[in-house]
Chain A
């Protein structure tokens, strides 16, 4: 099977998008953008300066009041237009994502669909941001209204694992509710957002409404410290999420900071093993394990362990690795050499602590892609609750196989984790499923589902150290995060 065509071989030096213009950065610091499957350099991204970031924030602030006065239905129309354009450019968006991130084309298509779904939900803004009122609410003849209003400029600091979907968890809702926006894409994967921004421009959003500044800490810190920025959305690792939450809050911002994860999937003795294994393969190895919702610990309860492990090893051995533009590939590389090194260190560490590596992806090589950052699917047996690999986020295609006596033991182990992003149970018992859902302290619970990815109209975030903030991303939470409530009490004589 021939590879699907790359949209471009090289995307050159990226520009920033500020106030409706594509502008060159004045920085002398540039990073290469690498195709993680081939090792080829496919573009350069600027590490933009604080002044460039401030200019984008000022432009967003300048554009805000006029945009706020634009009726919600008129704002919604632009999102309908944007949706249509995204459908037209669907395949290009997905292929660029494969090039820069390494995921498979199906995963990239799925992610593009997720981005579009957020646009579709945001297009319903006239209904979503309606306020409420009560006649005689204050006293007889005195009415009370709650009006939902936008606040000004918001910004997102985005990670490398979902270059399209994650910026779209935030900016469509912010802009639809009447705010203006600044996105800082991950400097590892800026091409997808760059392409999508051209589509946004084509849809006719006025200058200054959506701005994109590429860069690193300097851009992020400027966003967090600038007095005209009202709120920050972030997705990344827990240490950075903590920093973003603290630093943004110190500067008076609203914050939603999504951190890391360590997700356990619990398999009960009554689980349908064939369906469970097929479903879990996508959870552990999808996006090469670089999802905050990816399975990491596999907890076999009771006597299911041996038959489960046998089937799991069979399934794992059939995973085909390669460049995601080959449609028959099941799994791509991890995003960088640094990421690969980190994953390998975790596998080494587990081995040193006494676990047994049954399938070893450390030395995986894909013929023709020797410079790619591939880590093969890895299965580690004999992992115990005290081992590092059972407790820290690996962010790679590594399964820590654990054996426990009961569901209670599994829940107790999950509760001891500092993370609370997702957990799943595989069972045919409604009682077990209900208990699990009720007791487990995670933001996302799967019942016979290994990737608990909330749809655009539901909120998404974790618990504990997986999330810092209160209002989650997407859905009604997003509307609340990007707006405030203004109460008006009216009396006429």
Chain B
């Protein structure tokens, strides 16, 4: 199980940290599912999605490094941490379908997080907002692929 450390979303940096933790958590779940013999029928997709979430994590880190500047460090007060926490403990003995059902909840929560973060970021950093909006939509596309498994 991947340990995630989700912060209170009180700054833009904390929102970015939250998103990094979400991506790390999701990548860890997919890796665990990909190694699980009982979920072998989904292994190829799970491996692909683990890599995708790692790439997304790197993109988020890159966005923070390249785009954050001191003019946009406005306090953030409207995102409640509790609404976006994900469970990273994959149910024991889950087969591909059960694994997919489990991780679809993660994708759904992530999507909600990104949609809400994009709304807040819109007033602070337009590029960051567009980026998060894109990630949120991608979460839903991933969820649809998992549903078809």
Contact = CB atoms under 8 A, between A and B. Distances in A.
Interface of A: 1-2, 87, 90-91, 104-107, 109-111, 113-114, 275, 278-279, 281-282, 286-287, 315, 318-320, 326-330, 449, 451, 453
B6 interface: yes
20 contacts: A1-B5, A1-B17, A104-B73, A106-B73, A109-B64, A109-B65, A110-B70, A110-B71, A113-B68, A114-B69, A275-B123, A278-B123, A282-B70, A282-B75, A320-B75, A326-B7, A327-B7, A327-B14, A329-B10, A453-B70
A328 B14 contact: yes
A328 B69 contact: no
A449 B13 contact: no
Given A1-B7, A106-B12, A113-B65, A318 B70 contact: no
B67 to A, nearest CB: 8
B48 interface: no
A107 B73 contact: yes
B66 interface: yes
B101 interface: no
A278 B75 contact: yes
Interface string B50-79: 000000000000001110111111110100
Given A113-B68, A315-B77, A451-B70, 5 more contacts: A110-B71, A282-B74, A326-B7, A329-B10, A330-B11
Interface in B1-52: 5-14, 17
B65 A327 contact: no
Contacts of B75: 278, 281-282, 315, 318-320, 330
Contacts of B77: 315, 318
Nearest to A277: B74
A61 to B, nearest CB: 36
Nearest to A291: B70
A1 B3 CA distance: 12
A360 B13 CA distance: 27
Contacts, number: 84
Size range of the interface on B?
20 to 34
A445 to B, nearest CB: 14
Contacts of A87: 65
Overall SS of chain A's interface: helix
A93 to B, nearest CB: 11
Nearest to B65: A90
Contacts of B123: 275, 278
A286 B73 contact: yes
B71 A282 contact: yes
Contacts of A282: 70-75
Contacts of B72: 282
A458 B24 CA distance: 39
Contacts of B11: 104, 106, 327-330
A315 B13 CA distance: 18
Contact of A114 (B6, B8, B9, B70): B70
A91 B8 CA distance: 21
B86 to A, nearest CB: 16
Contacts of A449: 71
Most interface-central of B12, B64, B69 (chain A CB within 10 A): B69
A105 B13 contact: yes
B69 A110 contact: yes
B66 A278 contact: no
Closest 10 CB pairs of A and B: A110-B70, A106-B13, A1-B7, A328-B8, A278-B74, A328-B14, A328-B7, A328-B10, A327-B14, A327-B17
Most interface-central of B7, B13, B72, B123 (chain A CB within 10 A): B13
Contacts of A1: 5-8, 14, 17
Most interface-central of A113, A275, A315 (chain B CB within 10 A): A113
Contacts of A107: 70, 73
Contacts of B66: 113
Contacts of A90: 65
B48 to A, nearest CB: 28
Contacts of A328: 7-11, 14
A394 B144 CA distance: 56
Contacts of B70: 107, 110-111, 114, 282, 286-287, 451, 453
Contacts of A330: 10-11, 75
Nearest to A452: B71
Nearest to B74: A278
B7 A110 contact: no
A248 B101 CA distance: 72
Interface in B62-118: 64-66, 68-75, 77
Nearest to B61: A91
